[in-house]
A and B are shown apart, each in its own frame.
Chain A
């Protein structure tokens, strides 16, 4: 038997029909995640053609993108941005009811950002194929599942047939060696890798993250990394399941329980790259050299270490400098901050909130800074409140909000003002992503919190040392 990669094993295990001369493969989808923004047109197609959802049990829906992050009023009404947003949410509620799909809506204690909620429930499992009409579906690759984003037409395909037509991508290994230094987070590593691979470096490939630095990451940290593999252009990101994965999943609602779990765990652990398997491409990253890292430009590949200076201006980055209004060759630290956002499917999990709270405990954010902390799910919100993190945020002067995508893409109206600089723990710093003319600096939760306190982009290690002393 030839040695194969993790990707190859996942692909083979889901082939309903192999690709043939000029024809794509038919791939079976184990889990289809649905949210309000990219699904309405797909349900319309089902209605037009008189089709039903083939596997409602393999379909799981939530409300996250356009939901307000302020609480409902006493009469149950909510602060929707506009009527269209509310209509979109109501359309998903109706579609799920009509087609027999489980929806974690406002009344569910499990509602959350789609890529936060599904792993929490144990719906995301190793060895699966997982799709969603959302590019950050790559997040679920952290569990050794082949997970990728699809468009609305394909959402319709999966609803109706539980399958997708696919052309086989290439494979790329990103080998990360050594240990991350103290005070350096998974987000810093992720941004560092995005800087090395570039925003289109992974195009056409599925990336597998490997090496001792990856094995040392917690599941939450692995999700942060795989989440942003799409920012490297990759079709998907993968990390092979191991003991960390198994222990994280044990006892969660959708996984098998008792002896059946042990049997499942054995099956899951077989999803790994064989010793001598060959990747189409591979690159090596030295984890020991990673520092707290932020973006300075208008794509996630334009990164800089927090204590370093920006690059010189050249033909390729003039537009980014113009938009960001930052000085070439000046340090990024010290740039004035208007808004800080801790949230998104990249960094809204309990560990992220703890990282931010550790810095804010006993401190106040700068007078001119507005800070939003938005937990990724109802469960995280409850856990954080049980630990008292919400009180730390409020005491520091930050706003503690209801779960949702919020300022990650601003669809619900959580945006900044033109020209403002936002230090954000989300995944995209595209022009206008957080509001027209808004400048986004992507960062870790610790860097975001330290910047809120300083009122300027700041190195979190200074705060962390103070805490340790």
Chain B
């Protein structure tokens, strides 16, 4: 049973990080209602956990994301009687995803900055769950690789390969937009003027 101390701790430790929890849930879930439910459940679970012994020296944000992970899994379990987490072994490796059109990706930073935040979030949300979790933790939230491995309960090497694979999949997902942008950049031939063939 949480005590007054737990309430004080909650407003000291968890409350300042609530925006991180809400944002993470919003990026994780396509559905805004589900995201809000998961964020709320995470904060309430954190409050209940504070009633027990709590390590105040650790990374509190990583601790909250671990709770969010459990809340998300609980929700999946409720939705389907038997949860089948994605079997990533069946997924193609980064090398197998397809040869990315490298010529489209010169000056990648400028290109990526040209995408709106919404486009980036949509591309993230189209990724498989475990890959999305990895990129959200490691790249978006800046959680350390080791901490991300602990949250997702996988070896460190798996996190590294998932992060690499995820970034490659994200680029792949953005490629149609990149092609579109590149086409817009190219000067269009003037009507009625036949461009000379290159010799």
Q: Is B truly associated with A?
A: no
